[in-house]
Amino acid sequence: MAEPERHRTEQRLRPAPLLFEPAAAVADPEHFFDLESMEDPRELLARATELTHAFRAATDRSVEFQAIAAAQLADPRRFDRLTPAAIAERAEWTEDYAKKMIEFGRDLLRGSGAGGGGPEA
């Protein structure tokens, strides 16, 4: 039974690519990655699930990059460093969340926090 579970894990690690939609499609509020045109519910479920995994993976990576940027901006060695309050304002976070993100970013830069999915809100 280890083989099917390993296969499922591998599938999760390779989410569907997020492709940009043409401007005409984006203008239509009902259009979403062509899901509305799928008639087979099995196909719809499969593609929607792929997109869900891709969006989650993209969100996790984006949060990691936000944290790294926050840590770099708060680095005391920078002459132009920003305070947690200034970083929070730029990112539209609370100051407490900015402090957590700065620490998470420092962990990532040290190599000890990769893949954690971000600080707890």
Averaged pLDDT for residues 26-40:
77
Residue 46 belongs to a domain:
yes
pLDDT at 21: 54
- Tokens describing residue 49: 């699930």
Q: Which amino acid is at 67?
A: A
The distance of Cα 34 from the centroid of its chain, to the nearest Å, equals 22
Residue 70 scores a pLDDT above 90: yes
Question: CB under 8 Å to 109, separation ≥6 — which residues?
Answer: 68, 71, 72
Is the confidence at residue 102, as pLDDT, over 70? yes
In a domain, residue 116? The reply is no
H helix count then E strand count, the chain: 5, 0
**Which pLDDT value is given to residue 109?**
95
In contact, 101 and 93? CB cutoff 8 Å: yes
Q: For residue 91, tell me if it sits in a domain.
A: yes
- Look at residue 66 in the predicted model and tell me its pLDDT: 97
In this prediction, residue 6 carries a pLDDT of 45
- The residue segments making up the domain with residue 68 are 2-14+21-110
- Asked, for residue 39, whether it belongs to a domain, the answer is yes
Number of structural domains found in the chain:
1
Residue 7, pLDDT > 90, answer: no
The answer to whether position 119 is within a domain reads no
Structural domain contains residue 43: yes
User: What pTM was computed for the model?
Assistant: 0.66
Structure confidence at residue 23 (pLDDT): 58
Query: Is residue 117 domain-resident?
Result: no
Residue 115 lies in a domain: no
